Amino acid sequence: MRILRLLACAIVLPAMVAGCATEAEKPAAKAAQPATKYAAIPKNKDNDLKLFQGDGRVVKGAEALGRMQRDADVILWLAGNQFFAMDDVVGAFQKQNPGTSVGVITLPPGLLLRAIQRGGWTYNGKSYPGLPDVYASVNLGHLKALKKAGLMSTYAIYLHNEMELMVAQGNPKNIKGIKDLARPDVRTSLPNPVSEGIMRFYGRKVLERHGIWDQISAGKLCASCQTTPNNWFTAVHHRETPERIQDGRSDTGIVWVTETMEAKRAGAKVDSVRLPPEDSLVNEVSYAIGAMTQSPKKALADRYIRFLATQEAKQAYSKYGFVNASADELRLRPIP
């Protein structure tokens, strides 16, 4: 329990900041929410919960979540925008490690971190305790929080990406850049600033630099919420934004370049508006990964991280538009 409390104090989440006093400092009537209350997975996220069995079969959703801790040889909790690449990535890993079963959860990295802090998940009203063997985020700060809690010690950078704007096919609103997100005739679907790393660490910074963050957020830090008549903050943007644009509920949204590519592969009638480097942050976006130090499957977790430096892993990711990390970035090093 002490490890969980320390992790809670290391994670900067708006709803949790007040819970970091010692037990002696906190009046009983104002005690923070118990760390045993699991993090909630949003509804209809079955495709983000997968158990790749050693025999080649794939189980999804609640069944995968329920069997993962028992049946998986290694469990990966990864920043959700990789979901469309994981069949190929895990398949390549299993070819090098025949018979190995792999559990994968692909959700916003802040939400994954919250689940680590709370010791597991709830999904569709049922609880699923347990932790990953490997965790990956789009921000090194998340891994620093794990280090501070004594749960992770080393990391590697294994991927890069960049932001762009997703729009309806043909770009009927003639959206050209970030400033257009504040136009009165443009409805936006944006990643939430609470748990989605793309907004917390990258998108918000760009919106603030353009002077439109306050207008769009209306001072609200929330998920699955309407901040203004024109803006919706998602729970899981890589699935919601293309759906909202196709349904005519939104005109545009900030996404990763790889996500527009995947939406189009899946048949979505969307297009992209590329952004200049100062807005796409192509030179800043990095994916950091590490093995949990207390994992009983740490040997296989370390093997998975070493696998990411292989040509097979690089090809699996680059097929979906990700930019591979350099050999030096892929080298394990202490978390600063």
- In this prediction, residue 276 carries a pLDDT of 97
Considering the segment(s) 2-160+287-334 as one domain, its CATH architecture is 3-Layer(aba) Sandwich (3.40)
CB 241, CB 233: distance < 8 Å: no
3-state helix, strand, coil in the chain (%, to 5): 40, 25, 40
- In this prediction, residue 332 carries a pLDDT of 97
- In this prediction, residue 239 carries a pLDDT of 86
Domain spanning 163-280: CATH superfamily:
Periplasmic binding protein-like II (3.40.190.10)
- In this prediction, residue 264 carries a pLDDT of 95
Sorted by where each begins, the domain ranges of the chain are: 2-160+287-334, 163-280
Report how far residue 255's alpha carbon sits from residue 237's, in angstroms, rounded to the nearest whole number.
8
CB 187, CB 243: distance < 8 Å: no
Question: Do 163-280 and 2-160+287-334 have the same topology in CATH?
Answer: yes
pLDDT in tens, the chain (336 residues): 444 444 444 443 333 323 333 233 333 333 334 444 899 999 999 999 999 999 999 999 999 999 999 999 999 999 988 999 999 999 999 999 999 999 999 999 999 999 999 999 999 999 999 999 999 999 999 999 999 999 999 999 999 999 999 999 999 999 999 999 999 999 999 999 998 999 999 999 999 999 999 999 999 999 999 999 999 999 989 889 999 999 999 999 999 999 999 999 999 999 999 999 999 999 899 999 999 999 999 999 999 999 999 999 999 999 999 999 999 999 999 999
What is the model's pTM? 0.80
Task: Tell me the residue ranges of DSSP E strands in the chain.
Answer: 39-40, 49-52, 58-60, 74-79, 102-107, 120-123, 126-129, 134-137, 154-160, 163-168, 188-190, 225-228, 231-233, 252-256, 270-274, 286-291, 323-324, 333-334
- In this prediction, residue 1 carries a pLDDT of 41
